[in-house]
Amino acid sequence: MAEIVNLRQARKRRVRAEQAAVAATNRALHGRTAAERERDRQEAERARRTLDGAHLDGGPEGDAPA
């Protein structure tokens, strides 16, 4: 005799497996530790400060001196 299969349960198992595969892919693409995020935030802040420090202030019109 053939095995009896509940189609509703089989469908739910298939959906769960597909969702697990998508979640694993997203973890690989977007998963970063808190330390990595903090390091990137500090690097961006350091770059912003460096850029702001190199900014030339202009006259009353806001243009840089010629």
Q: Give the model confidence (pLDDT) of 7-38 as tens digits.
A: 999 999 999 999 999 999 999 888 888 899 89
Q: Is the pTM of this model over 0.85?
A: no
Predicted local confidence at residue 45, as pLDDT: 96
Q: How far is CA 33 from CA 15, 23, 36, 42, in A?
A: 28, 17, 5, 14
Q: Give the model confidence (pLDDT) of 37-60 as tens digits.
A: 899 999 999 999 999 888 777 756
Predicted local confidence at residue 17, as pLDDT: 98
Predicted local confidence at residue 13, as pLDDT: 97
d(CA 46, CA 55): 14
Predicted local confidence at residue 64, as pLDDT: 55
Q: In the numeric block, which tokens belong to residue 52?
A: 């702001």
